[in-house]
Amino acid sequence: MTIMLLTSHAACTNRYTQLSTTMVKLFLTLTVALLSQITVLGQANQRFNSFEEALRDPEKVKWLDLVCEDIPTITEQIDNFPNLESFYLTGCELDELPEGLGQVQSLGLLNVQDNNLRSLPTELKDLKQLTVANLRNNNFEELPEVLLTLPNLREIDLSGNAQLDLNKTLNSLSKVQKLDFLYLSGLDISIIPLNVKELKLLEELHLSSNPNLDLPNVFSPLSTTPNLKILVLSDNQITSIPKEITLLNQLKGLVLDNNPNIEIDILTEHLEQLPNLKVLLLRKNELTKLPENLDGLLNLAVLELSENNFSESEQTRIKSLLPNTNVIF
């Protein structure tokens, strides 16, 4: 992000070697990427918004974020940028992508969110360096087949594709060899199909803005994904966390931002049974206090409580009860 960042975005690979490194990566991933939802890929490079500007020195261009008016000239101009790494073509109501993108073999990130796409051209099979595909808010019903041919693809965002067949999509995603970062937000998901277990390298999953989630039938299937480390459940109108969350003993980071009716007492009780959980985000939950007993949070390295309504005395109390946790208000 996959923050991958989040993110992620090719960015979003969290490889954990030792505990301190794990905590740093988790926290950075879960905060930077989740706040910005922008990939770190190309962030150090200048972003060009038009061909006119970019063609002044095309060999230095690594990031193109084109305005829709440039679409008619993409096919004839795109091969002028031999070092292009990030290409954005968003919010242009496109039914199909312009020809020529397959020529940009240096491309690492393709962002075509907020269009009307139902498929991707087969020429994208030549993008062997592509690591991030952002297909958010389009009309895809299943994963475009061409993505299965890309050997370095690690992050896919399918959020907001209302007609997406999740079961069929998960079957296809299992064939993406290096997939470790997946967005499935805003899809009106209720349960997670059992074939999610085939996503054997998946480390980070976003299920935000799915308010009809049947959490027991989300947590149970996810417990079979052996490498899942970060789960994002923000903006889901969650009130109670069921006991099935304790099945996710591989989890290291949990994000529950903007669920203002969540029952914190039950949450902390269950988290005591997740000793590997090190990062918990509870931002924007209208919290004024935490339970008297915080033993369930003692194993945390980072507890993010910003944008809530804690008094200074409550902040002091929480920090005193969690002396080994970096508590952020």
Count of alpha carbons within 13 angstroms of residue 162, beta-carbon side:
3
Residue 302 near residue 20 (C-beta atoms within 8 A): no
Indicate whether 12 pLDDT > 50. no
Indicate whether 3 pLDDT > 80. no
| 139 confidence band (pLDDT: 50, 70, 90) | very high
93, part of any domain: no
Residue 254: strand pairing partners: 231, 280
**Predicted local confidence at residue 17, as pLDDT:** 27
Among residues 73, 64, 57, 2, the alpha carbon closest in space to that of 33 is found at 2
| 27 confidence band (pLDDT: 50, 70, 90) | low
Per-residue pLDDT tens over the stretch 280-310: 999 999 999 999 999 999 999 999 999 999 9
DSSP state of 86: E
Distance CA 323, CA 318 (A): 9
Mean residue pLDDT across the chain: 89
- DSSP letters of 24-65? HHHHHIIIIIHHH---STTTTSPEE--HHHHTTSGGG--EEE
Which of 31-45, 173-187, 189-203, 266-280 has the lowest average pLDDT? 31-45
Among residues 260, 261, 280, the alpha carbon closest in space to that of 270 is found at 280
Query: What's the total number of domains in the chain?
Result: 1
Distance CA 274, CA 297 (A): 10
Kindly report each contact of residues 68-75 with a partner whose C-beta sits within 8 Å and lies 24 or more positions away, as own/partner.
68/92, 68/93, 71/98, 74/98, 74/100, 74/101, 75/99, 75/100
Indicate whether 259 pLDDT > 70. yes
2, part of any domain: no
Q: Which has more pLDDT, 275 or 25?
A: 275
20, part of any domain: yes
Domain with residue 148: its CATH number is 3.80.10.10
Indicate whether 38 pLDDT > 60. no
63, part of any domain: no
**Predicted local confidence at residue 26, as pLDDT:** 58
| 33 confidence band (pLDDT: 50, 70, 90) | very low
Kindly report each contact of residues 93-99 with a partner whose C-beta sits within 8 Å and lies 24 or more positions away, as own/partner.
93/68, 96/121, 97/121, 98/71, 98/74, 99/75, 99/123
pTM confidence score = 0.88
143, part of any domain: yes
80, part of any domain: no
Mean pLDDT of 64-80: 95
Distance CA 211, CA 13 (A): 27
309, part of any domain: yes
Residue 39 near residue 2 (C-beta atoms within 8 A): yes
DSSP state of 97: P
126, part of any domain: no
**Predicted local confidence at residue 44, as pLDDT:** 52
Indicate whether 15 pLDDT > 50. no
Distance CA 315, CA 329 (A): 8
**Predicted local confidence at residue 43, as pLDDT:** 44
| 76 confidence band (pLDDT: 50, 70, 90) | very high
Q: Which range marks the domain in which residue 320 is found?
A: 8-41+131-328
- Identify the H or E element spanning 315: helix 312-321
Per-residue pLDDT tens over the stretch 221-252: 999 999 999 999 999 999 999 999 999 999 99
Per-residue pLDDT tens over the stretch 91-126: 999 999 999 999 999 999 999 999 999 999 999 999
Mean pLDDT of 159-179: 97
**Predicted local confidence at residue 31, as pLDDT:** 52
Provide the percentage of residues in the chain whose pLDDT is more than 70: 86
CA distances from 129 to 45, 83, 312 (A): 18, 12, 50
**Predicted local confidence at residue 7, as pLDDT:** 40
